[in-house]
Chain A
Amino acid sequence: MNEGGFGSDSAFEIEVTRGSVPVGRVPASVASCHEDTLFREIVAGRLPNDGTQPPCVVTAVGTHEPNPTTGGEVASSSAMADVIELRLGSAPPRRYAKEVFTAQANAFVADLLERGSLKQGDEVEWRLTASEQPVPKPQDGVRVVRQPLPFLLSSLPDIEPGNVSAEIDATLLGALQAQFRSAGPVERAWLLVGEVTHDAERGAACVHAVTAVDVARGRGGASMSHFAFEPSAFVQARNRATRDFDGLIPVGWAHSHPVCEDCPQNLECPAETRFFSSADVEVHTTAFPSPYMIALVIGKAGAAPATEPAFRLYGWRDAQVREIQFRTR
């Protein structure tokens, strides 16, 4: 096994169909499952946090042939897989439902739309397929290595063993609320900066967002309903964060979902803008793939007035991006 790579006795693909007719296939990455298992084993203290990782094998379980009435036209020997099992060294195997591939499937559908293979209004389905393949050999001249997770070691007596909690400084939340109010109906984005503490004895961890750094909008601009990230802006924000805040690291990102211009005057407006869209999931999946990374959304909270913005936090749980709870510090 090459350093940092995966072995697999199955090749996984996402297949998109329209009316049971295949439209396209794309390789499915099991990276989020691998990161999740590795992270949990390190947090639990069963694996050392030194950048090494044991061999990893991914297997399809519960595979079945395409249903001849709904999927019989699939011209391949692949079986449909509802669950994959990931084995990392001698650690207990973990299973992941195919839903962990939803973000990849959504991105592929968007790609098919862009390429003209699908059109707006098409009703499509996707499935995970697995076909047997030999374990790939590492490529000559290609070495993948990884760094230890950026943990601070400390005691976390308030966190249950096996848990990863999230904490956000009250001053940070207040600053983001002030910026939300002053920004008007245009999305903004920030890089969250803080620390990740690990209590190896208790098998617990805590991600703590201390402050935030502005991320400049990219060529695609920003509006009431989108914010385009420039690749170099990520790097600039990270460099600014590590330069200005000694000892702190990026721990995630925050962005706003603003309200319409009339909303602050309309106290009856029930709009709820604190949610995580599929575009947000794509940002988190690609730019913040480490399992400790969090994503804060600031927006209007249902019946509350727009002048009192509130938060929801999202993060990785079981290799999927989900809403998670946080404590204010």
Chain B
Amino acid sequence: MDAAASPTVNGAPSGGFMNLTARDWEGTRQVHLDEVARTATVGELVGQSVQALQLPLRDLYQAVFRGRELNHGDTLEEAGLDSESEIELVPEVSAGAVAQADR
């Protein structure tokens, strides 16, 4: 990954990099990210992946890894990710009759 383009490299003191895959939960699209800093946060990873996949409504997505939702503030290492890990991007949303007036 181009360090200048990556939200994950700037400020990372050390610790190396990992290659990751993020995919939408439908399994239709996936993005492979090379050389992501281990000290990057889950939130940065989600942000970059959502942007690369052109998912709509960008602020709504969570990362799920092995059935577990990851905290956006955790580093990738703290979240238990390692090289070749695959995360799923899933929205956190609510359905309902709350907005009947604006249908």
Contact = CB atoms under 8 A, between A and B. Distances in A.
A139 interface: yes
A287 B91 contact: yes
Contact of A143 (B24, B32, B99): B32
Contacts of A229: 91-95
B92 A227 contact: no
A139 B34 CA distance: 11
A104 B35 contact: no
A107 B57 contact: yes
Interface in B51-96: 52-62, 64, 67-69, 88, 90-96
A145 B32 contact: yes
B4 to A, nearest CB: 9
A36 to B, nearest CB: 13
B7 to A, nearest CB: 11
Contact of A147 (B27, B31, B92): B27
A261 interface: no
Nearest to A189: B95
Contacts, number: 178
Max count, chain A CB within 10 A of own CB: residue among B27, B34, B59: B27
Interface stretch (A15-23, A156-164, A230-238): A230-238
Contact of B94 (A31, A144, A145, A226): A226
Contact of A32 (B56, B94, B98): B56
Nearest to B92: A231
Interface of B: 1-2, 5-6, 24-35, 48, 52-62, 64, 67-69, 88, 90-100, 102-103
Nearest first, the 5 closest Cβ-Cβ pairs linking A and B are: A141-B1, A226-B96, A286-B91, A231-B90, A141-B34
Interface of A: 4-6, 27, 29-32, 34, 103-104, 106-107, 111, 139-147, 149, 187, 189, 218, 220, 223-232, 234-236, 238-239, 250, 255, 257, 273, 275-280, 282-283, 285-290, 293
Given A142-B48, A144-B53, A226-B96, 18 more contacts: A27-B58, A104-B57, A141-B1, A142-B32, A149-B28, A187-B95, A189-B95, A223-B96, A225-B98, A231-B69, A239-B67, A257-B96, A257-B97, A277-B100, A280-B96, A280-B99, A289-B56, A293-B26
